[in-house]
Copies of this chain bind each other. A is one copy, B any other.
Amino acid sequence: MAFHTVGICLKPDQPQLAGSVRELEKWLRERGLEVLLGREAAAVTGAPGMMRSELAEKADLVIVLGGDGTLLAVARAIGERPVPILGVNLGTLGFLAEISRDELYPTLDQMLGGRFRTEERTRLAVSVERRGEPGPRYLALNDAVLARTALSRMVDLETLADGFPVATYHADGLILATPTGSTAYSLSAGGPLLLPGLAALVLTPICPHTLTQRPLVLPQSCVVEVRVRDARGGEVQLTCDGQVGCELLEGDRVIIRRTEQPVLFLVPSDRNRFDVMRAKLRWGER
């Protein structure tokens, strides 16, 4: 795979990064690559930019300058287009944006020379059904979360996997996470780590009333359905990647299945997942 057209996406409102964007643009052009700027990147340099979805149509590599949050947003904007993403971290080391600023140019050098791997990351398609009618649809790279909004009370969430009843969770909420999302909210809620690339999803209840309702790892082919059974007068919120979502009513059904096209991450060929985990989770230190 050789790269011809590289898109640059930026975290919004980062005027102080104008220099970094121009430098990266110049570096790429000097190597014969065409460069496209997303709107946020264009905004800081004054150049013409395009929407992320449009950029994803034309680029064969998207470099994301930002943190994990920016990368999640770009991944959703790219949607089902099979264009790989390279995440460059501008702040502290991320689980997703794993290239540090200092590593950017040496890594790009390697990658243009063909020394990289493309990792396939499972992504979720989340759709809501109300009274039998289809409602909003979302994509999620990390997780889909159903949770009550008034935290004093619990919600009852009836859950099925491939049509089989799993359990009715009487809890603060429920997280369905991909391996990528297993290091995010699910981990805080007591979920296990899933190696990226594992063909599995994890269903993690949030503060379940029943102490034996532990996180459950399912095949990634599972179609998970969650029905809002009883919200005790309060509201239930559906949130995808902690960024987009909607309110749910009693009786609503949320159907979650993986997308055909996974998200593609470009990673240096000498890096493995355990290195990132060890660094981020500070294994080796108490």
Residues of chain A whose beta carbon lies under 8 Å from any beta carbon of chain B: 145, 147-153, 161, 164-168, 171-173, 182, 185, 187-195, 197-200, 202, 206-219, 237, 239, 242-243, 245, 272, 274, 277-278, 280-286
Measured between beta carbons, the chain B residues less than 8 angstroms from A188 are 171-172, 207-209, 211
Q: Taking the nearest CB of chain B, how far is it from the CB of A155, in angstroms?
A: 10
Give complex CA distance A148, B211 in Å: 23
Whether B217 and A200, one on each chain, are in contact in the complex, defined by CB atoms closer than 8 angstroms, is: yes
The complex is assembled from copies of this chain, and their number is 4
Measured between beta carbons, the chain B residues less than 8 angstroms from A200 are 198-200, 217
Give complex CA distance A207, B147 in Å: 13
Measured between beta carbons, the chain B residues less than 8 angstroms from A218 are 195, 198
Measured between beta carbons, the chain B residues less than 8 angstroms from A198 are 200, 217-219
Q: Taking the nearest CB of chain B, how far is it from the CB of A244, in angstroms?
A: 9
Measured between beta carbons, the chain B residues less than 8 angstroms from A171 are 188
Whether B152 and A211, one on each chain, are in contact in the complex, defined by CB atoms closer than 8 angstroms, is: no
Give complex CA distance A188, B195 in Å: 22
Give complex CA distance A147, B153 in Å: 11
Contact partner of A197 (CB less than 8 A), chosen from B165, B173, B219, B237, is B219
Q: Taking the nearest CB of chain B, how far is it from the CB of A256, in angstroms?
A: 16
Whether B164 and A192, one on each chain, are in contact in the complex, defined by CB atoms closer than 8 angstroms, is: no
Whether A193 and B217, one on each chain, are in contact in the complex, defined by CB atoms closer than 8 angstroms, is: yes
Contact partner of A148 (CB less than 8 A), chosen from B151, B152, B272, is B151
20 A–B pairs (Cβ distance < 8 Å), ordered by A: A148-B151, A151-B237, A152-B237, A152-B245, A161-B274, A166-B274, A166-B278, A172-B172, A187-B211, A188-B208, A192-B202, A192-B214, A193-B214, A195-B217, A198-B200, A198-B217, A198-B218, A200-B200, A211-B212, A282-B286
